[in-house]
Amino acid sequence: MSKVSQRGFDINDKKWFSNKEIIKLSKAKEEIEWLINRDYKIDSVVNFVGDRYQFSLRQRNALKRAICTEGKKLLRKSKLLDVNKINEDTIYIDGFNLIITLEVALSKGTLIRGSDGCIRDLAGLRGTYKLIDKTDYAIELIGKFLDEKSVPSVIFYLDSPVSNSGNLKLKILDILNLYNIKTEVILVNNADVILENLDRVVTSDAAILDKCISYFDLSTYIIEKYINEANIIDLSCNY
């Protein structure tokens, strides 16, 4: 049994994402999107607006995950597939992206719903990953959802340079073997470059969404169906 751990949880989030701060974040998001819709650079705009509101680094990261231009929002919406089509063929899952988001949801860590409607985490894992006590349950929820939708086969892609990717592969295969789903887990050097060229992708990674052929917003479906206690900060609409 992995030790109890809260993925994506920060003790300061109650302060940084209080109702008062969410109002400020929503206003800031509107200002940032006005500027990036006019071709201003995202990083410089977030820093400029963040300084104005005296936001913490975590609040600025939340804004980065929430914002997108109107053009990208429309593009992503056009690629989003109806979940009822998920059983029509194989789906290709951005493994770390989906599992970490669900681990954060189960940990009651902060999640951000952005302008494109996708839910993203603030875990900030860069090349390091450890299985936690929420990992098994996150994968079980994926299996349960896909089984209920009669998905015939799935392929998970995991970044091999990330620590414990091999252990996560074995965990996925072990748990999904309990369901009537043909499952493959492939370790690759860079999952993004593969997924961004595919159809029927499962991810909330903005860079992949902008390039892939089509996608399912599986993390949102699973969280809304099974994880009532998820802590979602909704920045999908402007103040």
What is the rounded average pLDDT of the residues 116-131? 90
pLDDT of residue 127: 79
Q: What percentage of the chain reaches a pLDDT higher than 90?
A: 91
The C-alpha angle with vertex 167 and arms to 192 and 136, in degrees rounded to 5, equals 95
186: pLDDT confidence band, cut at 50, 70 and 90?
Answer: very high
Which whole number is the average pLDDT over 62-82? 97
- Of 209, 43, 181, 238, nearest to 120 by C-alpha is 209
Q: Which two tokens stand for residue 32?
A: 């940032």
Q: pLDDT averaged over the chain?
A: 95
Q: Model pTM? A: 0.95
Confidence band, pLDDT 50/70/90 cuts, at residue 87: very high
Could you read off the pLDDT of 143-167 as tens digits, one per residue? 999 999 999 999 999 999 999 999 9
What pLDDT was estimated at residue 239? 52
Confidence of residue 1 (pLDDT cuts 50, 70, 90): very low
Q: What CA dihedral angle connects 37, 39, 40 and 46, to 10 degrees?
A: 40
**Do 204 and 219 contact (CB within 8 A), yes or no?**
yes
Q: Which of 31, 18, 13, 14 is nearest to 238 (CA)?
A: 31
pLDDT exceeds cutoff 90 at 214: yes
- Kindly indicate the confidence band of residue 12, based on its pLDDT and cuts at 50, 70 and 90: very high
Name the pLDDT band for 125 (thresholds 50, 70, 90): confident
Residues whose CB is less than 8 angstroms from the CB of residue 127 and which lie 6 or more positions away in sequence, other chains included: 161, 162, 163
Mean pLDDT of 17-32: 97
123 has a pLDDT exceeding 90: no
Q: pLDDT by residue (tens digit) across 57-68?
A: 999 999 999 999
Tell me the C-alpha distance between 175 and 112, whole Å.
28
- Answer yes or no: is pLDDT of 73 > 80: yes
Find the radius of gyration of the CA atoms of the chain.
Answer: 18
